[in-house]
Structure 1
Amino acid sequence: MAAAQPDSLAEVIGRWSGGRVIGVEREYEIYTGPPGGDRPVDARTVWRDLPGPGRAIDPGDPQARRCPTGAAITTDGPHAEIATPPVVLEPGCTDTVLAHAAAAERHLAAQLGGHRLVGYSTHISVEVRDHAVVPVARLVARRMAIPLMLVLDRAGSPGVLVRPRPGRLEIGGEFAAGDQLRAAVALTVATVLLAERRIGIRRIAAPGAPRVRPARATERFGWYVDRTAFGPDLYVAGRATRIGRAQAQDVLARHWSRCRPVARTVLSDTEVGLVDHVVAGLRPLPMEAPLDDDGPVAAVPDHRHYGERVRGVVTVRVVAASWWKALLQLDGGHGSQRWVTLPGRTLDPVLDALDAGLLDDELALLCRQSVPVTNRWRTPA
């Protein structure tokens, strides 16, 4: 039986507000000219000339454009960047987040025309409560970094970044795609959830895990774990690297054995099985094989727009939108204006409901009311 259509703004918000969220950012270098004779291009020099990048509605990033897939494209220094919308952490989420990343990359490539994109880095974010995110990041950086380095980085990578951000923990490493990205996201999710459970406990869930004193990250608060932080260069021998009395493969296998029960509570059997194969050596680590391409991915809507909507007597504008929050302005005419604050993850479902005409009467009523209306869902700033 098909799910009943929501008939109120509160129902749309409630349906899409449950569970924590994850997301992926991927950075790219831009080149122009034929392969072999191409030249690097600073993304900032071409950004104003993009023909249809999307709406500028992120108050924290004037370069960001919300594109028709729901993701954002922006610049980070000389690099171009895509950022997926928040994806609910549930079985199949690694497929969903990869599909959004691939769709955003296609949109970015189309905007750049004859320029060529070359993957530069990947950042995986997992929602963590504000009061816990710094100790979780510290624990991951000091005791759980080796498995993440093995499943994300390559032989030429420098190391990984572990950055606490408002409401989320961000792990930054080498550019990843396809099953390599799926596996990295799955292990990162499981690692963060395990660390969240273990903060404050002196003997964490992985007795004997190698300790390291990570360096302070530059540019933004967090930690950097270098490829040589544990003594030998982890990226030369990979799984066979000697770390104390064990090999890096032993560290990876022990870590996954403790993460796996946590992973099974939020991921599908297929997603857990993918990491099983990577850990067991049945699938290669990124440093053991060429870069995957994204391959077949799930379809995501690629026709969204974030411009003005006229629904009956009400004009709706998306005033601002970030990962965590969105702000709608309702104009009912004759000076009647209202503002509605939404959790960021619910913006697209609310716009879909608006476009389907499911909220017309409620919006008109809101504009006739004398008190501005905001929702009561709490989200990080």
Structure 2
Amino acid sequence: MKDLGTERGRFYHERAVVATPPRAVIGLEAEFNLLVNGHRRRPEKVFGDPSRLVRRRMIPRTGKSFQLPAGGAIYFDTGVIEVATPIIELEPGCCYRATRLLWEQIRYLRKELDHWARRNRCQCRLQGFSAHYNFSFPNARKSKLRNATKLAYLLAHILPVPVLLLASNRQSSAVGVRPRRTRVEVTADFTPDPALMLATCAFIAGVVQSVLRWDDFGLR
């Protein structure tokens, strides 16, 4: 879920959908490096676009993204392969749904990559790069004290240590929080375990929803 105003080819396009969704939503993304015969390659150079990797016909979306059969999106983003879930309403069980959808898309991508590798007599690997946890920001109580920028800055002081512990990636060095016009995006290194990713997603969702009840997003 990136901002189309600064980045192209994302599944949640704020130029096309400027207003905040009527209900709170979440969405997950995962980025992967591509290794062919042990060497890192840019997917744009190897495949051109995702339609030459995925065998089934996909619906083109805004920018360079394509809709996967499961309903999410796939695109090549500055040297990595990225898959993203559809937006999911924030309700009981939503973190499980989002995590499951993301890993189903990862598994689907892995199968397509295996088929391409057999056809081209080479070895291909996906190397987890990053994961993105996106949460919509409601406009109902937006003010100078409560906006996406202040929320992101506040979350950047709350989330890093517990997220680094939950994500279980020993090489993790940082957690980022990026404000968007209608949402905030928490970025961390890719978590190579569905259960731990679910725990991370649920923790972040709980913190975000708790903080959204505050009257002031200041640090004091």
Q: List structure 1 segments (4+ residues) > 6 angstroms apart after TM superposition.
A: none
Query: Sequence identity, in percent?
Result: 25
In structure 2, the partner of 1:148 is: 163
1:61-210 equivalences under 5 Å are 61-62=63-64, 64-112=65-113, 113-114=116-117, 115-129=124-138, 131=142, 132-152=147-167, 154-176=169-191, 177-198=193-214, 200=216
Contact 1:25 1:101 in 2 (8 A): yes
Deviation at 1:153, TM superposition (A): 5.5
Distance 2:107 2:217 in 1: 45
In structure 2, the partner of 1:229 is: none
SS in structure 2 opposite 1:110? helix
State the Cα deviation string for residues 293-327 of structure 1 (Å, max 9, x = none). Answer: xxxxxxxxxxxxxxxxxxxxxxxxxxxxxxxxxxx
Deviation at 1:133, TM superposition (A): 1.5
State the Cα deviation string for residues 314-367 of structure 1 (Å, max 9, x = none). Answer: xxxxxxxxxxxxxxxxxxxxxxxxxxxxxxxxxxxxxxxxxxxxxxxxxxxxxx
TM-score (norm 2): 0.74
1:246-325 equivalences under 5 Å are none
**CA RMSD for the aligned pairs?**
2.2
SS in structure 1 opposite 2:105? helix
Distance 1:165 1:111 in 2: 33
Distance 2:23 2:151 in 1: 19
SS in structure 2 opposite 1:19? coil
Distance 2:179 2:186 in 1: 9
Structure having the higher Rg: 1
Long gaps (5+) in structure 2: 1-20, 118-123
2:19 equivalent to 1:27: no
In structure 2, the partner of 1:313 is: none
TM-score (norm 1): 0.44
The alignment of Structure 1 onto Structure 2 pairs a total of residues equal to: 181
Deviation at 1:53, TM superposition (A): 6.0
Distance 1:88 1:201 in 2: 24
In structure 2, the partner of 1:43 is: 43
Q: Which amino acid aligns with 1:24?
A: L
